[in-house]
Structure formats: structure tokens, C-alpha cells
Structure 1
Amino acid sequence: MSKEAIRHALDAHWHASASGDLDAEHAIYEDNAICDYPQSGERIHGRRNLQALRGHHPDKPSGFDVRRIQGEGNLWITEYTIAYKGRPSCVVSIMEFRDGKVVHETQYFSDPFAAPAWRSQWVSPIA
């Protein structure tokens, strides 16, 4: 699969995620795909289970913003922010492709935190 084709599939996937279109969102995954959530120690086996899990989330996202997509070959990384009830989480998604479908995804979730004042002289805010 070409770099352009993977990028198009990722754009469609994240657009479907943001709009709540579960069928389109999960079209990117191979039937036996695995998705890992390392922070909670969970592994989701199969596209159907992943779609069911996401479809049963008690809240709908109140915000979704893709910050960056970058990849090469079969390994692609997306950084995005998703908000539930107005509370944002920063997410990194690492997707591994085979034959044009995602076979493994790892997602890391992080709540934002206030920057400490002691380092302000060396940093600038991210827009």
C-alpha cells in the first residue's frame, strides 16, 4: 500500500472517529487486529470487539483534534486530543499495517497538566 493510500485511510479513520461513524471508523482494521491500552493493561482482540467496546463508551466525544500524523512503510503514528464532557486527553496512536489494514494498534492516553513555573524561562507554550 502506498504512503498516500495509508494517509488517506488514516484521514478517513480519524474523520469517522470524530464524527461517531463506527462502521467507517473500524474499516481500517483487519478482522483479527489487536489494540493495546498499556496504561490500563488491556488488550482488545479483533475488530468486532474493538468496535463494540468503542460503541458502548458511556460518553460521546465533545471534541476531537488531530495534531499530527506521521509514518513510513507499515508504521504510522497519530497524535490527537479527544475530549469527553469537555475534559481533554492527549492521545498517541501507533498503528502497524499489513496488506493495507491495521493489524496492531497501541494507544497511550494522558491528561494535560499545568506547566510548572520553575521552567518558564526555557519554554514557550504550544498553540
Structure 2
Amino acid sequence: MDPDSGIRAAIKEHWRASERGDIEAEHAVYAEDAVLDYPQSGERFRGRGVISAQRGGHAADRHFTLRRIVGGGDLWVSECVITYDGVPTVSVSVMEFAEGHVVHETQYFADLFAAPESRAALAERMPARGIGEA
């Protein structure tokens, strides 16, 4: 297996584990000293244990739908929809790898919004993509 295939498989497993609530498997992708940044809130979480603790303590009912994974080498991007208590939020995760583990992740979150009627003639609906199609 080439290195990119192994990393892609690890990222897919990360999101699958997130969906099934398997905290240990979800965080296996991270290096012990990984850093996670949330630019919108200005928070930085340092270390696999801290990253796991902040996610494991989340009170909301969460679900994850992976849209796609793109990348190669040490830089990978995942697009997914994270649903918190039934409210979907689009997320983009930028993961930087070293020696097969995430050493730095920056995760961006965006709320969904209704398309303006003024663009209706110009746009088409995006196809739905699920976790198996990434």
C-alpha cells in the first residue's frame, strides 16, 4: 500500500469512528503531541489526550457525514457535515501529517444558509455524498 492510501484509510477511519462514538479509534490518527486549532473560537488544543477530552465531553448528539477527502503527502483536507442535536454544520478539516499521524489540524465550521432566489437561475443542487463515497 502506498503512503497516501494508508493516510486516506486512516482519515476515513477517523470519521467513521467519530460517527460511531468510538473516542479511542477516533483519536488514533493523532500524534501524541498533535495540535488542533479552531480559528473561529481562537482555541488551540495541545496533545492527543486533550483533543480527545474536549471532544469526548461534548454534550450534543453528534453525527458525521463525510463528503470527501482530498490531499497527498503530508497535507489532507476533509469536508464533512457535523450534525449537532439535529442541526447540520459544514466543516473543513485541514490535517498535516508526519510519520503517519496528524501533527496539526485546523478545523473550520460554517452554518448552512438558504440560497437566495436571485441565484436560482444560475445554480444547480449539489449532489449528496455520503461517507462511503469519499
Which TM-score applies when normalising by structure 1?
0.96
Q: Please state how far the C-alpha of 1:123 moved relative to its aligned partner.
A: 0.7
Q: Does 1:13 align with 2:38?
A: no
SS in structure 1 of the partner of residue 69 of structure 2: strand
Q: 1:47-66 alignment to 2 at 5 Å?
A: 47-61=48-62, 63-66=63-66
The superposition leaves residues 82-124 of structure 1 with CA deviations (integer Å, 9 ceiling, x where unpaired) of 1111100000000000000000000000110000011111111
User: Percent sequence identity over matched residues?
Assistant: 49
Cα distance in 2, alignment partners of residues 64 and 51 from structure 1: 16
Q: Residue 105 in 1 paired to residue 113 in 2?
A: no
SS in 1 for 2:121: helix
Q: What does residue 3 of structure 1 align with?
A: 4
Deviations 1:11-44 (A, max 9, x none): 1111101111000000000011000000011111
Of 38-47 and 1-10, more deviation after overlay is shown by: 1-10
What is the aligned length? 126
Q: Which residue of 2 aligns with 1:83?
A: 83
CA distance in 2, matches of 1:24, 1:64: 15
Rounded to whole Å, the distance in 2 between the matches of 1:51 and 1:11 is 17
Counterpart Cα distance in 1 of 2:75 and 2:64: 22
Misfit runs of 4+, over 3 Å: none
Amino acid at match of 1:27: A
* AA matched with 2:87: R
Distance 1:40 1:16 in 2: 25
Give unmatched runs, 5+ long, in structure 1.
Answer: none
Q: Give 1:60 deviation, angstroms.
A: 2.5
Give the AA of the match of 2:15: W
The residue that corresponds to 2:26 in the other structure is 25
**In 1: Cα distance, 2:115 partner to 2:31 partner:** 40
TM-score (norm 2): 0.91
- Aligned equivalents of 1:97 and 1:114: distance in 2? 35
Rounded Cα–Cα distance in structure 2 between residues aligned with 1:87 and 1:21: 21
State the match for 1:69 in structure 2.
Answer: 69
Q: What CA RMSD, in Å, does the superposition of the two structures yield over aligned residues?
A: 1.0
